[in-house]
Structure 1
């Protein structure tokens, strides 16, 4: 307390001195009423050093002078400054001498107290600065470790019976804390046996980190963790630190998976080379044998024709293998470009079926093709799309037991066009579904005898992706068949191109009459078209506005609608959208009759759901072919 008061400012100590003097004088007055004047001198004398030490020399001197004045005033005779009696003079003199000595001693003590206070303040300041330095160092340590973004932790061993039985989390940076389900405040201080990142093995941590406590050194190892998203791998680098272990660890799942993928790709490459050698030797063997046959004397014309047919067939098989390899190379290099054209989907499917027909017939498979009621036209690379469909049909035939059932269905909805090839063959096991589209992958390695390089599905997938679509596969399991689906975006669908004009209109007598609705605000044009269609034998109704068209559809169910686009009020596009939004009329064939013929106009009619787009004046032959196509599709 003395040291602390000695550190107060001068003014504060002076005020406290006046206050203490006043308090002593009050006590002195009370004591004087009860005793002789010598006793109060003792009170003042005893207080002198404390007042001087606590509040300074000036305060002590003030109290000393007050005591002298008290002695002169309150001793007999009361009220006089003179002290006539010798014994009283001796007391007053003794008080003055002793009091002066005590004030001087108090002054020296005050200096000592101030020096002690200064030293204490310096010590406290140094301690505060040291504590701040420690806090700053810890803050920089935390910032550095947290900004690194790499998980870091410190663990301390827990000893029982002289052995390390478990480890305790002592520090975690933010990256490491995020791996835990709890907050880092809950983790720190907990045992690794009870609290650890999900999927981590406490025994592995203890086994690898505990030796670093007993000996100085470092260790690096990989930890495999079974997480919610599959297996993960972490690379841990640990080192000893004063009886604890510090460790960095990072997620190396991508690296490990890349290494596994490289190893798998290398394995598939070896399988591919072996399969390629096998596939090339297959046609080479009969070619070589035919060469030997042709060199033999006495070869008949029939044998020579057989040899020629065999050579063509086997060389064609080799050409297909080489074409697939070249296509894969072009796609890998980005050098394969599509030749898009507007084509009827039925024609593409016919091309694919014709290509796959030998394989289908060779194994006596039943093929069922289901197309939409209305014809579908796409802007695609006809050759490449047919190649993909043929490949799917060939695969289905290849991996289905003889006499199997294969179905090709086409569904056209607003979002996409889906072509699905289903079979009742050997199926695909669930764990192999994700790998069947990989290069050099076989659907079932046990069926290598079926032939193929394992690149057909990978090539097909790439070709469909070039069209902006996707190729998917599904199977209920082994021996339960499989389904491969081609998903093409809806923007591939277009109205068919105009067919070349014919010289004369020929009306086949076998054409069935159809119910047709003509909608055009030009009365003459509408009536003329109605008359022409009636001559062809069709049942025709005519209206002259979009509103009338929508109204008559509640009473009349046409199979074909010829619709002008530039109608007043409700336009032809609005009528088409209304028709396509009515489930009962989804199979109606819509034919646009308009004066607008730019590509963007055709795109608008395709989006509205029109099947055909003809510009005025309409070629009668083209119109009849469109109606014939609609009849065939119905």
Structure 2
């Protein structure tokens, strides 16, 4: 028999080792203690795409030293190898290897490796074995996944909606940046079921119930609820989610969005409320028009039946006359508010003494006030108070407010009408009557809005008075506001109008009040108005005052002129063709000097129009027909 320690046994062991080495399913590279490659197996050759006779294999087996390779040093591999040669088993992270870097043909790969020292019986490192693992496909897949996730996050963060996802059981695990910006919550603070904490308490049950139904059935999720905004208010959002399924049809994820619909819902609710008010108004209009028809019809029959009785004929005629007059007033109210709110009314502006306006309005309403037993208190400032306006329309404004106060105050109530001057003219009409509900208060100046009609309230009117008041006051460049603490507390209406300064000449004639002083300094002025007559007359007036005026009738021409010339003042209409005056002001501001004065002279006079004028860079905003004396003074002030 042959002993295991005989040379033959050693040869068999070596052959067995070589067979295992060559047939190992993983790449193996043996290194000598000085770093040279001693041997590689078949899997190593397959890994790098080389075989016997290839230059790459010949190069590696001809004494290639991994410890002195500058490419490996640059990739950070050498320190790991030194630790292995010192006796430590180390894991070398994924490195990209390309045989072309050493000038040889072969397959580039991402490779992870384990360096294990092979030790002699005395503990010295005899060789180092490198075991390679090709991780190219895994790393490329991970890279593609990361790129896909990055692309998804970029798209999700760019969306105006809040985007979120959950696991199949509904556990939230992702929110986009918009979610955190909307809610003001720190990232990660609303994962899982904690998102419900930022739902409005009144909406949580319905939202949860609908969500549980979707989780149980796999049906798409859609519900409206209020979500806490970073400002602290709750805003309405539309929540939607769809199930994501794999190729086998299994639900693997939910993807959802929350869209801020607060403004849309507010506008929708306001439109519904407006439609209800319109329907109520039409029903009331039909009632108000039918009321006079009944006595007219009865009187007509009475005329037929008692035509020979002069007294009855006279009473019937009086009834018909009164009721026809009442119907005429109703129709006149409708036509008047229609003309004013559509901007079809032109004001005849003159200096108007407001104490006389208030006195005239009181005289108009006094019969109703006395009939209902109201006490009226008045307070006026000393001296004359003037505004530039249309006297009959201003009387109409104050009379409507007094009439409204008298109607909505129970008999023997208290009314007050006061006037004050504090830069503007302030007229305040107050009562201790029915008051205004909180929900109605923001809408009292809208068409078709009217408070409850009570049996003790005087007949007449369609609830159009306050809408007419607001439109007329704004046409005069003023504003009106309503106040009430609620039902039973009374109400107050305050009108503010620009004060017309009369230079100490109280009661002067209109011609004196309209006198225009000559310019203290000559200005170069660009006037832009598509109404050529308006532009030319204004230009002639400003030239008469001593200014140099250039005219333009469209925005394009105005910009061209401004590019080639410098002006100290710009007077612009707003309703221009092709480009409105707000946009034109911004363009001209970019061309003008910093101290140039911009004045809007326009027929648009609402608070919103004035706000847009401020944003566009206008220094002053005048409503046509403007007080030309005021325009002259503004040009001098700059």
Q: What is the TM-score with the length of structure 2 in the denominator?
A: 0.56
Between Structure 1 and Structure 2, whose CA radius of gyration is higher?
Answer: 1
Assess, with a 3 A threshold, how the Cα gap between structure 1 residues 430 and 198 changes in structure 2: closer, same or farther.
closer
The match for 2:139 is 128
For 1:442, the equivalent position in structure 2 comes to: 450
* 1:132-281 equivalent positions in 2, closer than 5 A: 132-156=143-167, 167-188=170-191, 190-192=192-194, 195-196=197-198, 201-225=203-227, 232-241=235-244, 242-281=251-290
> Is 1:421 aligned with 2:429?
yes
Alignment check: 8 A CA contact 1:193 1:202 kept? no
CA contact (8 A) 1:14 1:55 kept: no
Change (3 A) 1:346 1:287: farther
SS in 2 for 1:186: coil
* 1:297 match: 307
The separation in 2 between residues aligned to 1:285 and 1:201, in whole angstroms, is 52
Rounded to whole Å, the distance in 2 between the matches of 1:484 and 1:294 is 46
Per the TM alignment, residue 187 of structure 1 is displaced from its structure 2 partner at its CA by 3.0
- The structure 1 residue matched to 2:350, chosen from 334, 341, 345, is 341
Q: Distance in 2 between matches of 1:485 and 1:304?
A: 47
Contact 2:385 2:499 in 1 (8 A): no
**Partner Cα separation in structure 2 for residue 265 and residue 219 of structure 1:** 32
Match of 2:545 in 1: none
Q: Deviation at 1:229?
A: 7.7
SS at match of 2:182: coil
Distance 2:493 2:630 in 1: 35
Measure how far apart 1:221 and its partner are: 2.4
Gap change, CA 1:244 and 1:119, over 3 Å in 2: closer
The equivalent of 1:80 in structure 2 is none
Choose between structure 1 and 2 for higher RCO, CA contacts under 8 A separated by at least 6 residues. Answer: 1
SS at the partner of 2:188? Answer: helix
Q: Distance in 2 between matches of 1:350 and 1:276?
A: 31
Deviation at 1:413, TM superposition (A): 0.4
Distance 1:59 1:145, change over 3 A: closer
Q: Which runs of 5+ in 2 are unaligned?
A: 1-25, 39-56, 66-104, 113-132, 245-250, 512-626
Q: Distance in 1 between matches of 2:33 and 2:394?
A: 105
Distance 1:418 1:7 in 2: 100
1:398, distance to aligned residue in structure 2 (A): 1.2
Stretches of structure 1 lacking an aligned partner (at least 5 in a row): 21-51, 61-113, 159-166, 502-597, 609-634
Residue 499 of structure 1 corresponds to: 509
Distance 1:180 1:311, change over 3 A: same
Q: Distance in 2 between matches of 1:246 and 1:500?
A: 72
How far does residue 202 in structure 1 lie from its aligned partner after superposition? 4.6
Q: Which has the higher helix share?
A: 1
Is this contact kept in 2: 1:7–1:117, CA < 8 A? no
TM-score by length of 1: 0.56
Cα drift, residue 282 of structure 1: 2.7
Query: Contact 1:425 / 1:479 at 8 angstroms: preserved in 2?
Result: yes
Q: Distance in 1 between matches of 2:213 and 2:413?
A: 64
Q: What is the CA-CA distance between 1:215 and the residue it aligns to? A: 3.7
Q: Return the offset for 1:341.
A: 1.7
Equivalent residues in 2 for 1:50-129, closer than 5 Å = 56-58=61-63, 120=111, 123-129=134-140
Deviations along 1:181-232, one digit per CA (max 9) or x if unpaired, are 42123334x4336654566855444322234334433232222457778664
Return the offset for 1:272.
1.4
Give how far 1:409 is off.
0.2
